[in-house]
Copies of this chain bind each other. A is one copy, B any other.
Amino acid sequence: MADSLRIYNTLTRKKEVFEPLHPGHVGLYVCGPTVYGDAHLGHARPAISFDVLYRYLTHLGYKVRYVRNITDVGHLEQDADEGEDKVARKARLEKMEPMEVVQYYMNRYHENMRQLNVLPPSIEPMASGHIIEQQQMVNRILQNGYAYEKNGSVYFDLKKYSETFPYGKLSGRVMDDLMTYTRELEGQEEKKHPFDFALWKKAGPAHLMKWPSPWGEGFPGWHLECSVMSTRYLGETFDIHGGGMDLVFPHHECEIAQSTAALGKSSVRYWMHNNMVTLNGQKMGKSLGNAVSLEEFFSGNHSLIEKAYSPMTIRFFILQAHYRSTVDFSNPALQAAEKGLERLFNGMRTLEKLKPAAQTTGWSNSEFRDACYAAMNDDLQTPLVISQLFEAVRYAHSVQAGTESITAFDLEELMRLFKTFAIEILGLHPEESGFSSRLPAALMDLIIRLRSEARKRKDFTTADEIRNELEKLGIILKDSKEGTEWEMKE
C-alpha cells in the first residue's frame, strides 16, 4: 500500500508515522487486568483494541513481541498506596489462598478473551513472578537518588525527580495539581511529599503476599511491575505501550518516572490509549450497580441486559467505534450491532455463492483494498473498515440480484480481501456468532432441498411445516428466484 501506518501518540498529542526501533520487529506492551473479579467491558475494550493493533502489525509483516501483564499483587484499593491489596481482600472474603483467587479469575479472563477471539499475547508475565527484578529496579532508583527508604517501605521522590526531569508530560498535569489530587491516607506521614508513591511497601504480619527484600518483608508498589516487565522482555527502549485512558494518570506517568529514574530514559516511544466505555450513558462502577461482567453480557443474565449478546456482537460493537472515541453500551445499540454483524456474515455467505460472469461492473477491488488499508493506517480507523465491508456486502447483493456482474478472478480476489480485513485483521470470527459449523450447514442444505421438492410436488403442507419448525429453532428461510437462503433470526 502507498501510505504508512500512523498512530496517535498520547505523549505528543498527534498522529505520528510508526517506525519501529528495530526494522521488522515491534515490541508492544499493554496493561492487563488485576485478577480479583470477573472481566467487564473495561477489560474487553483495551484487549480488543490492542488485539486489532497486534493483528494488523502482524499482517503488515512485523514480527511482534506482545507482552500483556497479569497484576496479581500490589494493586491496592482505590489505586492508592494504602489500603488492602485487591487480590488479598478477595481471598480473605472468599477464604482462599490469594493465588487461588488469581488462578480462578485469570482462567475466567482467558476464557473470556478466547470467546472474544482475542489472540493470546506472546508473553503474559505475572507481577508475583518478577519480584527479584522489581527489587533490582527499586535498587537502581535508590542508587540514582530518586527514592528513599522509610520504615521498610521505599518511596519515589517525585520532587527530586522533577528537578531534573519533566513530570506530567503524558497526562498534562503539573506538579501543583498533584497536591490537590492527593488524598490524605493512612501511612502518608512516611512520605516526604504527599504525591510521592510507593515502590516497595512493608508488609505487616497478617499480610499474605510478601517477600524478603533488602528493606524487610514487603511487596512491590503497583506501578513498578509494568516498568520492570516491559523492559525485561522488550528492552530498555521499546516501541508501543498501550492501555486504557484511565491509566494515563497516575499509572503511566509513574511508569515513565520510574523508568527514567532507573534507566535514564522513559523507555516508551509511542503511548497509545483507548477511550472509556459507558453503559446507558453512565460510567460503570460497582457502587453504581451497573458493573455488568462479560459473562453476564454473554448469558443475558443481568437486569440491565435485555438478552444474551454473543462475544462477537460485543467485539463488533467495540470495533464500530474508533478506539479513541467513547463507546456507550445500550440494549438498542447492541441489538443494532448484532443485526449488522449477521448482515456481514450473511454477506460473506452470499459472496461465496455468487456466479461469476464475463466482466466486472460497478466494483473495483483495488479501491476497496486501498480504502481499507487507508482506514487502518489512519490510527486504526476500524469503523471505516467496517463501512467498506458493508459496501462489499451491498455489492454482493447487487451481483446476486443481477444488476451487477463480477469475473471469477475479481470474485476470488474480493473474497480474499473481505476475509483478510473481516476475519484476519478485525478478528470477527463467524464460528462464534451463532451457528455456522460445517455439519449444521450441511443439514440445512438437505432440509432446504426436501422443502423445495415438496413444493415441486405441490405438497405445501410439508413445505410450510418445514418453514414453521425452522422458525421455532430461530432459523428464517428466504425464498427468491435464485433459490432459498437461510439465516439465524436476530
Interface residues in chain A, defined as those with a beta carbon under 8 Å from any beta carbon in chain B = 65, 97, 99-100, 102-104, 107, 110, 120-126, 128-132, 136, 211-212, 233, 435, 439-440, 442-444, 446-447, 450, 453, 462, 466, 469-470, 473
CA A440 – CA B110 in complex, angstroms? 28
The answer to whether B121 and A103 have CB atoms under 8 Å apart is: yes
Given contacts A212-B132, A440-B443, A100 and B123 within 8 Å (CB-CB):
yes
In the A-B complex, the 4 residue pairs with the smallest Cβ-Cβ separation, listed nearest first, are A129-B129, A443-B443, A99-B123, A440-B440
CA A131 – CA B443 in complex, angstroms? 55
Chain B residues, CB < 8 A from A211: 132
Additional 18 contacts, C-beta under 8 A, given A99-B123, A453-B462: A97-B122, A99-B125, A99-B233, A100-B123, A103-B121, A103-B124, A126-B126, A129-B129, A129-B130, A132-B211, A435-B439, A440-B440, A440-B443, A446-B466, A446-B469, A446-B470, A447-B450, A450-B466
Given contacts A100-B123, A122-B100, A439 and B442 within 8 Å (CB-CB):
no
Identical chains in the assembly = 2
Given contacts A107-B120, A462-B450, A473 and B99 within 8 Å (CB-CB):
no
11 chain-A/chain-B pairs, Cβ below 8 angstroms: A65-B100, A97-B123, A99-B233, A110-B110, A126-B126, A129-B129, A131-B131, A131-B132, A132-B132, A443-B443, A450-B462
CA A125 – CA B473 in complex, angstroms? 45
Can you name the residue of chain B whose Cβ is closest to the Cβ of A132? Answer: B211
Q: What is the minimal beta-carbon distance from A476 to any residue of chain B, in angstroms?
A: 14
Chain B residues, CB < 8 A from A435: 439
The answer to whether A123 and B136 have CB atoms under 8 Å apart is: no
Chain A interface secondary structure, helix, strand, loop or mixed? helix
Given contacts A97-B233, A446-B469, A446-B470, A103 and B120 within 8 Å (CB-CB):
yes
Chain B residues, CB < 8 A from A446: 447, 466, 469-470
The answer to whether A129 and B132 have CB atoms under 8 Å apart is: no
Can you name the residue of chain B whose Cβ is closest to the Cβ of A128? Answer: B129
Can you name the residue of chain B whose Cβ is closest to the Cβ of A95? Answer: B63
Q: What is the minimal beta-carbon distance from A14 to any residue of chain B, in angstroms?
A: 32
CA A249 – CA B117 in complex, angstroms? 43
Given contacts A103-B123, A107-B120, A439 and B129 within 8 Å (CB-CB):
no
- Residue in contact with A136 in the complex, picked from B121, B212, B473, CB distance below 8 Å: B212
CA A100 – CA B130 in complex, angstroms? 15
The answer to whether A473 and B132 have CB atoms under 8 Å apart is: no
Q: Find the residue from A99, A121, A131 having the highest chain B CB count within 10 A.
A: A99
- Residue in contact with A444 in the complex, picked from B102, B120, B123, B443, CB distance below 8 Å: B443
- Residue in contact with A447 in the complex, picked from B97, B110, B443, B453, CB distance below 8 Å: B443
CA A151 – CA B20 in complex, angstroms? 42
CA A212 – CA B442 in complex, angstroms? 60
Q: What is the minimal beta-carbon distance from A278 to any residue of chain B, in angstroms?
A: 33
Chain B residues, CB < 8 A from A440: 439-440, 443
Can you name the residue of chain B whose Cβ is closest to the Cβ of A99? Answer: B123
Q: What is the minimal beta-carbon distance from A185 to any residue of chain B, in angstroms?
A: 29
Chain B residues, CB < 8 A from A443: 440, 443-444, 447, 473
Q: What is the minimal beta-carbon distance from A102 to any residue of chain B, in angstroms?
A: 8
Q: What is the minimal beta-carbon distance from A143 to any residue of chain B, in angstroms?
A: 15
